[in-house]
């Protein structure tokens, strides 16, 4: 018998390999999972492809677990398991779903992934969850396909589109399909039609896709350029709106920081350099409340800020009353001494907090209802910023009403306008002074609760706000709450419109120059108080 | 405003000076010790980072004393507080060298503080071990740079992101705090990227003031820049307090690491400790050490540190490792020289190798920089980093960048007979620029 030629031998080997590959396809998930037990990321990518190729219904669960860092390898037998959280963990077999009981930290290795694998997983899960029962999952799947542009999702997407009944999901699927057509080698006509659909989607993902194909001279590229130009034009307005919203947000932060000072400095005329430290104490109260909740009642975490608010108000208010009674009341009418004394206080408070809590940042978590962002047209608004805008306005309104309609507010205004006369009418002016200072400090404290959501909770927290606070109060007009509101918002919006043009550093300098010039022209700020109180 | 901060600093400085005098007189009462100066801010804005380094130095000195000290004498730590005030750093350094007569100083964090003390160390011939990653472009006879030079951190990070595995990034945002380290690093990176074929319109450079807390505009600009159809990454040299609001804003605006990864050079385990890191998983940092490095020496160090600081939750970070390496190198060099004389120690330390905490050894090179491995890590949900890439061996710190016009011809070699920090290989002369 003649020996087979090398060519024949090669063909035979090829078929043998193919049959092996088919066997691997059909074989159980378990062997594919074994491939994840490696430290090399390219090999993990291959293993993931093999897992998907197995076609097992558990693939989506396994990959979701991998993406969430819950896919583990049990050290004792190198079995791939799915855990349910950190540390002490209940595990189940990844391939079969069989319950394997508890496992403790140190008994497993987490399967590490990198960003490339994360993208791979997202794209796969996108096409796997197109048929999920929950319309929101389907919507997310369609959006994920639009972003990943995974051509393998084309047929499942078409099929899903045929079955889809929800209008919003249908739209998202059509857009995703258009995105796939656009990046495929379909006919020009189809692709140009797809550009229209992608254009109607708008947003950054659509811009990215169009920008990618806008190179070249053919008709498709031209159409893409036109669509881009159209999106660009509509974006000018969105940009302006976005800057305005960002400005309001920055303004509300300034307002929160300054509003307490508007009382102590604005109404009482006390230059309180320790104001920033009141804000800091408020932030630390939030931290303590959250620590206690984390350790004893984790279910209450979403309410931690609401619990912290009154506590921060009363604690900083009490500290404020204490400061007024022990230091400031001896220094009324001596602004320079007050400045130095409160300064010393601010250093003492800072160092005290540093000694108790350490110099490092403390973690203050964000409740779930304050996390994330939502999209309005082309701009994305983050929930925590919106909450802070509303909160700042609410605090402002409450303060305004309290000053206007409560007995304490009336007495406070009486004392600041004419101390002797108020005293003659039977008002205990010393008590009112202490309470007013306490009110200003308390409001700084609740500002601290809000600011803990967007800034560092460290002993230096207050320092960064004290200058801005004085700026706002002086610019708005000392002694006028409305002035504080208008000044905070004006400075916030001006800053945000300057920032894209001049950069953050120059933008801030320009705002400061503007204020210096403004104060030269109108030394009493935007809304100057008139009358005897001012002259005194 | 400037007025207020100035007074604040004065007050602080006076208070510290008082404390110093008291501390100094107490120290003089003891005899026959080798004094080690610790020059880290314990108050002010930099206290957040530097206090930890003071603590780790105290721990190292305590451990060395348990081992019997050095040259038969006990080591004694002299701690001063320059209060995050740059001119005060120079004053304190002078006190340490002239009054306390310390054998070596471990200290400084920001480049500006190092620049401020540099003339003092050169004038009084002291030894400074500087533990923080920095912008390079310097080599002093009196300074040992145990942190990373740009080629030990920034350039490998960019290489990783450009690679297939790192995502094949084509478009770059260089975001930094407005001071010397980010500006120089970004200058080097820009030159490096352009040399690698990145077009000028694909590089966006953005600077923000210290302590910047409102990142809305910049994060949305980054998103916009990233939607030009090319894979985009952010290289962050944002320093200190500004990082927490930056990462919070990234998380809130939904900038995912899969889409636009951020690689940071100034964010370590300590900075992440104040953050909820769940939304940041996958963002990167480049360092020469991570607490998560799986190595017995590191495990022992972490255990010792937690015991010393009496806090199970405290983390370790890269500059701490740099101090460990620097301190051990100094100890070895003193043993080798048999004296603490700065010149003898300076000669002896070149070539000294000590184990680093990531399972290898680091060597002091003739340019006063050390060899280190480069690690790229991803932020994890528990606030730690997980190494996703690392250099196969160690990398020699390159003090004069090869990518900048003024410095590419310069080298430094402190061995005799050259003994020069800025030798120009083209002209064959020592000097010209730098220190």
How far apart are the CA of B131 and the nearest CA of chain A, in angstroms? 19
* Inter-chain CB proximity B252 and A382 less than 8 Å: yes
* Segment (H or E) for A128: helix A115-128
Radius of gyration of chain B from Cα atoms?
21
- A207 contacts B228? CB cut-off 8 A: yes
**Strands annotated E in B230-300:** 232-237, 262-264, 284-287
A360 touches chain B (CB under 8 A): yes
Name the nearest CA neighbour of A495 among A484, A509, A483, A485.
A509
CB contact set of B229 (below 8 Å; sequence gap of 6+)? A208, A209, A210, A211, A212, A213, A214
Compute CA A102 distance to the chain's CA centroid, rounded to the nearest angstrom: 35
Minimal CA separation from A421 to chain B, in Å: 36
Global pTM reads 0.81
Q: What's the sign of the alpha-carbon dihedral A43, A44, A45, A48? A: positive
Lowest mean pLDDT among A124-133, A289-298, A417-426: A124-133
Q: What residues of A are in contact with residue B212 (Cβ under 8 Å)?
A: 504
Band of residue B118 on the pLDDT scale cut at 50, 70, 90: very high
Residues 6+ away with beta carbon under 8 Å from B321: B288, B289, B356, B357, B358
| pLDDT at position B432 | 57
Q: Which residues 6+ apart lie within 8 Å of B48 measured at CB?
A: A359, A360, A361, A458, A460, B240, B241, B270
At the topology level, CATH places domain A117-213 in 1.25.10
Strand partners, A457: A362
| Residue predicted with more confidence, B74 or A1 | B74
What mean pLDDT do residues A58-75 have?
Answer: 86
pLDDT, position B28: 45
Q: For the ranges A386-395, B24-33, B234-243, which has the lowest average pLDDT?
A: B24-33
Q: What pLDDT is stored for residue A79 in this prediction? A: 85
On the CB side of B171, CA atoms within 13 Å amount to 18
**Given pLDDT bands bounded at 50, 70 and 90, which one contains residue B39?**
very high
Question: Above 80 in pLDDT, residue B16?
Answer: no
Between A197 and B431, the more confident residue is A197
Minimal Cβ distance to B282: which of A41, A118, A363 = A118
Q: How many angstroms separate the CA of residue A359 from the nearest CA in chain B? A: 5
Contact check, Cβ <8 Å, B213/A246: no
Helices (H) and strands (E) in chain A, counts: 21, 7
| A385 contacts B252? CB cut-off 8 A | yes
Nearest to A115 among B51, B167, B248 (CB): B167
CB contact under 8 A, A204 and B209: no
Percent pLDDT > 90 in chain B is: 63
d(CA A372, CA A453): 13
| Domain ranges within chain A, ordered by starting residue | 32-113, 117-213, 249-464
- Which ipTM did the prediction report? 0.79
**Contact of A492 with A247, CB cutoff 8 Å:** yes
The closest of A265, A252, A276 to A478, measured between CA atoms, is: A265
| Cβ atoms within 10 Å of A192's Cβ, excluding its own | 16
Tell whether A131 lies on the interface with B, counting CB pairs under 8 A: no
Averaged over B163-168, what is the pLDDT? 89
Smallest CA–CA distance, residue A225 to chain B, in Å, is 12
Alpha-carbon distance B136 to B185, whole Å?
8
Smallest Cα–Cα separation from B59: which of B399, B259, B227, B309?
B309
Give kind and range of the element (H or E) at residue B128. strand B128-130
Average pLDDT in chain B: 88
Task: Please report the pLDDT score of residue B22 as a whole number.
Answer: 45
């Amino acid at each position: 018998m003649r020996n087979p030629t090398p060519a024949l031998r090669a063909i035979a080997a090829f078929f043998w390999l193919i049959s092996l590959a088919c066997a691997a396809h059909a074989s159980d998930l378990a062997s594919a999972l074994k491939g994840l037990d490696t430290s090399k990321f390219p090999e993990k990518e291959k293993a993931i492809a093999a897992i998907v190729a197995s076609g097992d219904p558990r693939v989506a669960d396994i990959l979701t677990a991998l993406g969430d860092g819950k896919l583990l390898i049990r050290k004792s037998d190198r079995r791939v398991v799915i855990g349910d959280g950190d540390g002490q963990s209940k595990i189940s077999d990844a391939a079969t779903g069989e319950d394997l009981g508890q496992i403790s930290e140190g008994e497993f290795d987490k399967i590490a992934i990198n960003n490339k694998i994360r993208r791979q997983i997202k794209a796969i899960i996108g096409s796997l969850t197109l048929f999920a029962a929950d319309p929101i999952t389907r919507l997310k799947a369609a959006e994920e396909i639009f972003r990943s542009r995974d051509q393998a999702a084309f047929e499942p997407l078409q099929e899903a589109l045929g079955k889809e009944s929800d209008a919003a999901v249908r739209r998202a699927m059509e857009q995703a399909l258009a995105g796939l057509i656009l990046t495929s080698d379909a006919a020009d006509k189809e692709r140009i039609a797809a550009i229209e659909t992608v254009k109607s989607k708008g947003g950054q993902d659509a811009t990215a896709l169009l920008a990618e194909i806008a190179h070249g001279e053919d008709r498709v590229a031209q159409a893409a350029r036109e669509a881009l130009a159209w999106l660009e034009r509509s974006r000018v307005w969105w940009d302006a709106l976005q800057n305005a919203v960002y400005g309001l947000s920055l303004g509300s932060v300034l307002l929160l920081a300054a509003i307490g000072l508007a009382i102590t400095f604005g109404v009482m005329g006390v230059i309180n350099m320790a104001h920033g430290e009141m804000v800091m104490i408020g932030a630390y109260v939030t931290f303590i409340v959250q620590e206690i909740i984390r350790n004893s009642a984790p279910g209450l975490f979403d309410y931690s800020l609401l619990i912290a608010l009154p506590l921060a108000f009363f604690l900083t208010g009490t500290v404020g009353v204490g400061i007024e009674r022990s230091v400031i009341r001896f220094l009324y009418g001596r602004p320079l001494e007050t400045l130095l004394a409160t300064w010393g206080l601010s250093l003492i408070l800072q160092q005290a907090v540093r000694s108790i809590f350490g110099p490092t940042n403390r973690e203050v978590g964000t409740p779930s209802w304050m996390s994330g962002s939502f999209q309005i047209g082309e701009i994305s608004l983050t929930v925590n910023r919106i909450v802070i805008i509303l909160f700042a306005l609410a605090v402002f309104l409450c303060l305004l009403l309290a000053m206007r309609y409560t007995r304490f507010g009336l007495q406070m205004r009486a004392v600041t306008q004419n101390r002797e006369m108020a005293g003659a009418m039977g008002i205990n002016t010393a008590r009112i002074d202490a309470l007013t200072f306490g009110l200003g400090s308390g409001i700084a404290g609740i500002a601290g609760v809000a600011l803990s959501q967007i800034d560092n909770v460290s002993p230096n927290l207050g320092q960064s706000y004290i200058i801005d606070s004085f700026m706002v109060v002086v610019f708005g007009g000392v002694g006028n709450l409305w002035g504080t509101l208008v000044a905070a918002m004006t400075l916030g919006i001006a800053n945000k419109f300057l920032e894209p043009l001049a950069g953050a550093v120059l933008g801030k300098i320009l705002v400061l120059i503007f204020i210096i010039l403004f104060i030269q022209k109108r030394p009493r700020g935007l809304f100057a108080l008139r009358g005897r109180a001012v002259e005194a | 405003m400037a007025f207020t901060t100035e007074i604040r600093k004065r007050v602080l400085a006076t208070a510290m000076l008082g404390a110093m005098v008291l501390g100094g007189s107490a120290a003089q009462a003891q005899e026959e010790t080798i004094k080690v100066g610790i020059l880290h801010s314990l108050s002010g804005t930099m206290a957040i980072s530097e206090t930890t380094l003071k603590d780790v130095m105290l721990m190292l000195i305590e451990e060395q004393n348990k081992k019997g000290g050095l040259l038969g004498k006990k080591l004694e730590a002299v701690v001063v507080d320059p209060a995050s005030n740059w001119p005060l750093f120079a004053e304190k350094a002078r006190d340490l060298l002239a009054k306390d007569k310390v054998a070596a100083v471990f200290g400084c964090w920001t480049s500006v503080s190092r620049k401020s003390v540099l003339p003092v160390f050169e004038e009084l011939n002291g030894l400074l071990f500087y533990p923080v990653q920095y912008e390079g472009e310097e080599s002093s006879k009196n300074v040992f740079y145990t942190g990373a030079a740009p080629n030990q951190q920034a350039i490998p990070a960019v290489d990783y992101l450009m690679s297939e595995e790192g995502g094949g990034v084509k478009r770059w945002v260089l975001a930094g705090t407005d001071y010397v380290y980010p500006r120089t690093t970004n200058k080097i990176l820009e030159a490096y990227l352009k040399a690698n074929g990145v077009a000028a319109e694909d590089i966006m450079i953005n600077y923000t003031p210290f302590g910047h807390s409102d990142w809305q505009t910049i994060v949305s600009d980054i998103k916009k820049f990233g939607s030009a159809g090319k894979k985009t990454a952010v290289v962050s040299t944002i320093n200190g307090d500004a990082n927490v609001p930056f990462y919070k804003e990234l998380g809130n605006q939904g900038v995912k690491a899969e889409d636009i990864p951020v690689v940071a050079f100034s964010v370590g385990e300590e900075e992440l400790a104040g953050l909820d890191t769940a939304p940041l998983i996958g963002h990167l940092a480049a360092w020469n050490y991570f607490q998560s490095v799986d190595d017995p020496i590191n495990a022992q160090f972490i255990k010792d540190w937690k015991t010393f600081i009496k806090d199970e939750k405290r983390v370790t970070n890269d500059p701490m490792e740099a101090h460990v390496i620097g301190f051990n190198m100094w100890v070895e060099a003193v043993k080798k020289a048999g004296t603490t004389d700065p010149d003898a120690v300076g000669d002896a330390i070149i070539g000294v190798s000590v184990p680093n905490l990531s399972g290898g050894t680091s060597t002091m090179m003739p340019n006063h920089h050390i060899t280190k491995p480069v690690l790229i890590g991803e932020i994890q949900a528990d606030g730690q980093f997980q190494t996703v890439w690392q250099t196969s061996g160690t990398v020699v710190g390159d003090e004069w960048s090869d990518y900048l016009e003024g410095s590419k011809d310069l080298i430094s070699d402190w061995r005799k007979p050259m003994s020069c920090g800025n030798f120009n290989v083209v002209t064959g002369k020592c000097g010209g620029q730098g220190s």
